[in-house]
Amino acid sequence: MARWTVCWLALIVSLTFASYIGTNSLVASDAFQRSEYAMLPLGQLGSATCTRATRNLVSAGDGSAATASAEQRDAYDRAVAAVLAACNA
């Protein structure tokens, strides 16, 4: 039983180590060094105003559907503009 447990533990540890090394090499590759993958400045992200605007955007999310009515689209567009303004994005 102990031998079985040690073998499984060794397998799990080696697979975890391999995935860690693979992820590090992928992130360090040139594909992620290009500017289109760079993080944008966050501005005031996390403020109370930004949080409220983001919650309003989530609740107006039906306006992004292809079958949304004009009122839903207008509410969604206003929510997007509010998030952009409140979060400095």
pLDDT digits 0-9 by tens, 39-78: 544 445 667 788 888 888 888 887 888 888 888 888 888 8
**Measuring CA to CA, how many Å separate 54 from each of 15, 39, 41, 84?**
39, 19, 17, 9
pTM recorded for the entire structure: 0.47
Residues 6 or more apart whose Cβ sits within 8 Å of residue 80: 57
Position 83 scores a pLDDT of 86
